[in-house]
Amino acid sequence: TSFRKDLLKSFDTQTKIIRDIRDNLNSKCLLVVENNPAVARILDTKGELILDVVDQVAEDFIERSGNDGITLDYSHAWLVVEYFKRNKEKYSNMELCRKQYGGIPDSAKSMKNFVKTVASKIRWVHLSDEIQPYAHSGLHIGDGKIEFNECAELFKKYIKRDIVVTIEVLDGHTPEGFKKILKQDFTILKGLFS
């Protein structure tokens, strides 16, 4: 767990340095962190699985000095919460997280806890759907198992201002994917958030 703690501490230092550079250059850029998924099945050039080792749970980043806020990736949070609910596959990055916090961190016990913990610092939201916690699929809304009725209720209850939401799906940059965003994703979300 000292590896994970040291890494988080180094991110805190890096953020302060970047903030100081930004401030001295009179930049209006915001420094915003995004939460990582439990497992992203991304293969490097050698075909090896790449795992993020920090910033999965709110406790990793919510108090990081120098951040101007966070981008809440709702599907990433769901993947983390669902990972800790199951005891099937084990991934070292998530087990190091569990070990560091002496069990499941509070924010990862439910989507309510996650959203409630980060709500005051949210600047942007990314939305996509997922099927299961052992792979980040970036599906269109309604094609997976995320409960978006719950998402809408949590946002209405805990997020007290307008927030920019981006539908961030795997094929969103293709003509077919963009058409599906307009036809399916927007329709579903408009019904839930109206």
Task: Write the pLDDT tens digit of every residue in 47-91.
Answer: 666 678 899 999 999 999 888 999 999 999 999 999 999 978 888
Helix (H, G, I), strand (E, B) or coil at 129: strand
Task: Write the pLDDT tens digit of every residue in 83-110.
Answer: 999 978 888 899 999 999 999 999 999 9
Report the distance separating Cα 12 and Cα 82, nearest Å.
27
pLDDT, mean over the chain: 91
Work out the pLDDT band at 169, boundaries 50, 70, 90.
very high
pTM: 0.92
What's the rounded mean pLDDT across residues 110-132? 97
